[in-house]
């Protein structure tokens, strides 16, 4: 990655921004700390000056010579002139001093070393005042304070430089790693755009935010691939399954046209054509309804539903229909079993299961409905003692327009079980088919909710 490209990456700008913020906070904290420490040391130096001056003031200074000797002893003890003294008598004559004879006002002052004729770069803190008729000036070098400032500023300067370099290095590394992951995303999406829906993003074991996003994108690609495959399958099924009904419709219309030319009544042909077009319309309406369900358009109508009461009601409605077809329909439902769902769609799904059993089973078949609630799930089942469905075709019959070979001579669109699966998927339910020995068992297992009323 070129250095000029670093600023384009948000990760680098974020790292640099955080570094500058931390650096600013450190500088502010250092400035506050330095100010407080400098003030404390300055106060201590002033206190020491005041103490030295008070020591001379409280001493027995009646003898001026004793005072001069005391100051001389202190001057001798400070050969580097870290402390300076100047004593004048009442007439302004210098009695003893280790600095230039300069006029220093009474009280506190700060004087440059060059003014005092001291070979150093550090200024002096001075205190002056009258002492038993004389005028005494006492001063201490600010070397410690200035050295402290230089040490702190140098330390903070190097620390700031190190933090800045580390931030640039870390930001560059993060930007490189992030760009590598983003390039993977870009390449994957490019392959998807070219039609390869099987491609997936790499997901590491770190479990970071990018891994979560990559996982979500992979799930989206999987769902997209399934939808595209379903659309392709539906298109193929429609082209295959509707060819015969459309040909029949054309035959009826052409027959009506020929009969009309010969003056033969065409009522039967037109009635057959209308019946055939109604069947085709019913097929497309069912396909549209399944598509709407799979798109989740009805999810906003979800509410608590007692699945036991709902299935019992559907079984009661179809009991007479089953009896007319030579079957018996019984329900084995006792306690309430609440789920979250769309009552209308659930009713239609179970009605489709019962209608399939009635339509495709021979006379004398026993059909039963049951609901069982466990701690976290509700299982609703429709069982018949008919010929059943081969195990190899359990998944196939859930596809749109798929019909068993033995069912092609009966009425129907081949969409009943497809709608049941769409409703189950919408409700997060699992649909399972198994042999009932004899017959077929269809079970829908829903997530259970508690506390509904």
Segment 61-119, tens digit of pLDDT: 457 788 888 889 988 988 888 899 999 988 889 999 998 888 889 999 999 988 888 88
Q: What pLDDT does 326 receive? A: 92
Q: Which residue has the higher pLDDT, 341 or 160?
A: 341
Q: What pLDDT does 432 receive? A: 92
Q: What pLDDT does 406 receive? A: 47
Among 137-146, 168-177, 400-409, the minimum mean pLDDT is found in 400-409
Q: What percent of the chain has pLDDT over 70?
A: 85
Q: What pLDDT does 307 receive? A: 93
Q: What average pLDDT is seen over the chain? A: 82
Structure tokens at 99: 């600095």
Closest CA to 341 of 396, 423, 274: 423
Query: Which residue among 118, 147, 176 closes a domain?
Result: 147
Write down the number of H helices and E strands in the chain: 11, 12
Instruction: Flag whether 318 is in a domain.
Output: yes
Structure tokens at 261: 């030319």
Instruction: Flag whether 326 is in a domain.
Output: yes
Query: Which residue among 147, 168, 202 closes a domain?
Result: 147
Q: What percent of the chain has pLDDT over 90?
A: 21
Total structural domains in the chain? 2
Instruction: Flag whether 5 is in a domain.
Output: no
Is 218 a residue whose pLDDT tops 50?
Answer: yes
The sign of the dihedral angle between the CA atoms of 217, 221, 227, 228 is: positive
Q: What pLDDT does 144 receive? A: 80
Query: Which residue among 108, 128, 147 closes a domain?
Result: 147
Instruction: Flag whether 184 is in a domain.
Output: no
Range of the domain at 44: 10-147
Is 366 a residue whose pLDDT tops 80?
Answer: yes
Using the 8-state DSSP alphabet, how is residue 120 labeled?
S
Q: Which residue has the higher pLDDT, 127 or 256?
A: 127
Instruction: Flag whether 331 is in a domain.
Output: yes
Cα–Cα distance measured from residue 123 to residue 232, given in angstroms and rounded to the nearest whole number: 90
Instruction: Flag whether 178 is in a domain.
Output: no
pLDDT, tens only, 228-245: 776 776 666 666 666 767
Average pLDDT of 260-278?
82
Instruction: Flag whether 102 is in a domain.
Output: yes
pLDDT, tens only, 273-326: 888 787 777 666 666 666 666 666 567 778 999 999 999 999 999 999 999 999
Average pLDDT of 173-191?
79
Cα–Cα distance measured from residue 252 to residue 177, given in angstroms and rounded to the nearest whole number: 68
Q: What pLDDT does 453 receive? A: 52
DSSP class per residue in 260-296 = HHHT---HHHHHHHHHHHHHHHHHHHHHHHHHHHHTT
Q: Which residue has the higher pLDDT, 111 or 16?
A: 111
Q: Which residue has the higher pLDDT, 157 or 12?
A: 157
Q: What pLDDT does 297 receive? A: 59
Among 40-44, 61-65, 376-380, the minimum mean pLDDT is found in 61-65
Dihedral pair phi/psi, residue 124, rounded to 5°: -120, 140
Instruction: Flag whether 401 is in a domain.
Output: yes
Q: In b/e form, how buried is each residue of 35-66, taking b as 16+ CB within 10 angstroms?
A: eeeeeeeeeebeeebeebbeebeeeebeeeee
Q: Which residue has the higher pLDDT, 395 or 77?
A: 77
Q: Which residue has the higher pLDDT, 134 or 227?
A: 134
Give the number of residues written for the chain. Answer: 453
CATH number of domain containing 139 = 3.30.450
CATH number of domain containing 394 = 3.30.565.10
Q: What pLDDT does 353 receive? A: 92
């Amino acid at each position: 990655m070129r250095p000029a490209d670093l600023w384009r990456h948000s990760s680098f700008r974020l790292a640099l921004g955080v570094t500058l913020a931390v650096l600013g906070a450190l500088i502010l904290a250092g400035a506050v700390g330095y100010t407080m420490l400098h003030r404390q040391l300055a106060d201590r130096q002033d206190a020491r000056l005041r103490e030295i001056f008070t020591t001379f003031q409280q001493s027995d200074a009646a003898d001026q010579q004793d005072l001069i000797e005391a100051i001389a002893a202190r001057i001798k003890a400070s050969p580097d002139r870290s402390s300076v003294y100047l004593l004048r008598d009442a007439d302004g004559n210098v009695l003893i001093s280790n600095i230039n004879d300069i006029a220093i006002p009474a009280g506190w002052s700060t004087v440059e070393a060059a003014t005092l004729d001291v070979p150093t770069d550090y200024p002096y803190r001075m205190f002056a005042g009258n002492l038993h008729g004389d005028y005494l000036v006492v001063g201490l070098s600010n070397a410690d304070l200035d050295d402290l400032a230089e040490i702190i500023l140098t330390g903070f300067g190097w620390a700031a430089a190190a933090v800045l370099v580390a931030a640039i290095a870390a930001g560059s590394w993060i930007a490189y790693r992030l760009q590598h992951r983003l390039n993977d995303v870009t390449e994957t999406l490019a392959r998807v755009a070219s039609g390869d829906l099987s491609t997936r993003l790499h997901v590491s074991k770190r479990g970071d935010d990018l891994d979560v996003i990559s996982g979500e994108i992979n799930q989206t690609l999987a769902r997209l691939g399934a939808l595209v495959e379903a659309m392709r399958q539906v298109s193929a099924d429609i082209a295959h399954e509707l060819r015969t009904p459309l040909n029949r419709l054309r035959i009826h219309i052409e027959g009506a046209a020929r009969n009309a030319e010969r003056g033969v009544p065409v009522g039967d042909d037109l009635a057959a054509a209308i019946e055939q077009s109604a069947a085709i319309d019913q097929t497309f309406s069912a396909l549209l309804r399944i598509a709407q369900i799979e798109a989740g358009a009805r999810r906003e109508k979800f509410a608590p539903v007692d699945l036991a009461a709902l299935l019992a009601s559907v079984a009661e409605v179809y009991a007479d229909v089953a009896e007319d077809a030579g079957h018996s329909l019984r329900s084995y439902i006792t306690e309430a079993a609440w789920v979250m769902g769309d009552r209308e769609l659930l009713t239609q799904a179970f009605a489709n299961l019962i209608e399939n059993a009635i339509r495709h089973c021979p006379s004398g078949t026993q059909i039963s409905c049951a609901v069982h609630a466990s701690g976290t799930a509700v299982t609703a089942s429709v069982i018949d003692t008919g010929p059943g469905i081969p195990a190899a075709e359990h998944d196939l019959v859930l596809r749109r327009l798929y019909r068993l070979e033995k069912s092609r001579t009966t009425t129907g669109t081949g969409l009943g079980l497809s709608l049941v699966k769409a409703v189950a998927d919408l409700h997060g339910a699992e649909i399972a088919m198994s042999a009932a020995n004899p017959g077929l068992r269809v079970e829908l297992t829903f997530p259970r909710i508690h506390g509904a009323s």
